[in-house]
């Protein structure tokens, strides 16, 4: 799992892995929001976690 602060990474390879993980998580959450099959509450929850995530 990525550290709370990206500046805590020790090398560029670690940073790249954490950066990729963050992008995947964000992409998944955005896809869930854009999916019309979701209920309003789950879209709101997903949006909230998207904003809170580091």
pLDDT of residue 43: 59
Q: How sure is the predictor about 47, in pLDDT bands with cuts at 50, 70 and 90? A: low
CA distance 53 to 1: 12
Query: Does the predicted model carry a pTM greater than 0.75?
Result: no
DSSP for the chain, please give it. Answer: ---SSGGG-SSHHHHHHHHHHHHHHHHHHHHHHH-TTS-HHHHHHHHHHHHH--
pLDDT of residue 51: 57
Q: What is the pLDDT of residues 2-41, one digit of tens each?
A: 556 656 667 777 778 888 888 888 888 888 777 765 665 5
């Amino acid at each position: 799992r990525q550290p709370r602060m990206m500046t805590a990474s020790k090398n560029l390879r670690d940073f790249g892995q954490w950066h990729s993980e963050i992008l995947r998580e964000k992409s998944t959450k955005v896809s869930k929001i854009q999916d019309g099959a979701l209920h309003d509450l789950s879209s709101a929850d997903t949006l909230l976690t998207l904003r809170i995530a580091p």
